[in-house]
Structure 1
Amino acid sequence: MNKLHHYTTTLTWTGNQGTGTSNYKAFQRSHTIETTGKPIIHGSSDPSFRGDPAKYNPEELLLSSLSACHMLWYLHLCAVNGVQVTQYTDQATGTMEESSEGGGKFTLVRLNPKVIVSEKSMIDKALELHDQANKKCFIANSVNFSVTHHPSCEVKQQADHPNP
């Protein structure tokens, strides 16, 4: 039997400047996202859609969710497979295509994880585990566009110690 998980967030529009949505330019796209016991995320639309560039937009949050989900699965798989990761960064990129009708969709997300491992013998397994992480990621399995990964892996550099 499959186990169900339930999540709740509260989104609140904070962009009413006094006249609500009386016209397209009369309101801000600002909003907050919150859930019990966690800091509030301040969001807006992308600046291309009259949003505040200082706030996260939904497209960035989707991209970040995919990147984080992949990383969390990857670190789990490394831990249970004897791969000691000491550093992980990902410069994820995404492409969204806007239609002539004003809608749009993501067509591709590319994850670019850069992993540092403790020993050279771990590099092959470290690279291989990205495929498994991609297959297990809850978020990647929930979207209808391609999520690819292009990892790199290096060995942790030891600090040089002068000989006594």
Structure 2
Amino acid sequence: MTTHDATVSWCVTSGDFARGSYNRAHQWEFDGGATCLAAASPHVVPPPMSDPSAIDPEEAFVAAIASCHMLWFLDIARRAGYVAATYRDHAKGQMTANEAGKLWLSRVDLRPRITWTGEGPAQQALRALHHEAHENCYIANSIRTVIEVHL
């Protein structure tokens, strides 16, 4: 079993906290030393109380799914004898209301584009590699969000 640490830090820097007009910008710190500016999504909290240049939790969720899928895919493709040169995925998450009317990220669409050194897999083999990556992805196995890979 492993643990994964993140520290989230915020302090009031502007606005009126009691009236809800405070800055939502904050910082994420990870155990390896990386730090990121984060904020509420500007779709939820409009600027200037959010920071559109920062990472919001919804974007981070989509990125975590796409990143986990990619890492598994690359390893599975390597073990199958393929040599990837580049991998780019413009992933999109869709927020909808659930049965209780609460918003959630109900769907994430992955659109990976891979270039290969040498011959890449045929379409059917490529689909099988992505399916295996999805089946092994820790994040995908931890959520109920629908994840679809578009080739």
TM class by shorter-chain length?
A: 0.7 to 0.9
- 1:99-138 correspondence runs (5 A): 103-120=102-119, 122-124=121-123, 125-138=125-138
Structure 1 spans left out of the alignment, 5+ residues: 152-164
Off by >4 Å, runs of 4+ in structure 1: none
Identity among equivalent pairs (%): 26
Structure 2 spans left out of the alignment, 5+ residues: none
1:161 aligned residue = none
- One of 24, 28, 38 as aligned partner of 1:43: 38
Letter in 1 for 2:149: H
Pick closer, same or farther for the CA change 1:102–1:127 going to 2, 3 Å: closer
Cα deviation for residue 123 of structure 1 reads 2.9
1:68 aligned residue = 67
1:78 aligned residue = 77
Pick closer, same or farther for the CA change 1:121–1:34 going to 2, 3 Å: closer
Pick closer, same or farther for the CA change 1:54–1:14 going to 2, 3 Å: farther
Per the normalisation by structure 1, the TM-score is 0.80
CA RMSD, 1 decimal: 2.0
Give CA deviations for 1:65-88 in whole Å, capped at 9, x if unaligned.
Answer: 000000000000011110111111
1:53 aligned residue = 52
- 1:85-96 correspondence runs (5 A): 85-96=84-95
Cα deviation for residue 35 of structure 1 reads 2.0
SS in 2 for 1:122: coil
SS in 1 for 2:19: coil
Pick closer, same or farther for the CA change 1:102–1:45 going to 2, 3 Å: farther
Aligned-partner Cα distance in 2 for 1:38–1:98: 36
Aligned-partner Cα distance in 2 for 1:137–1:80: 16
SS in 2 for 1:114: strand
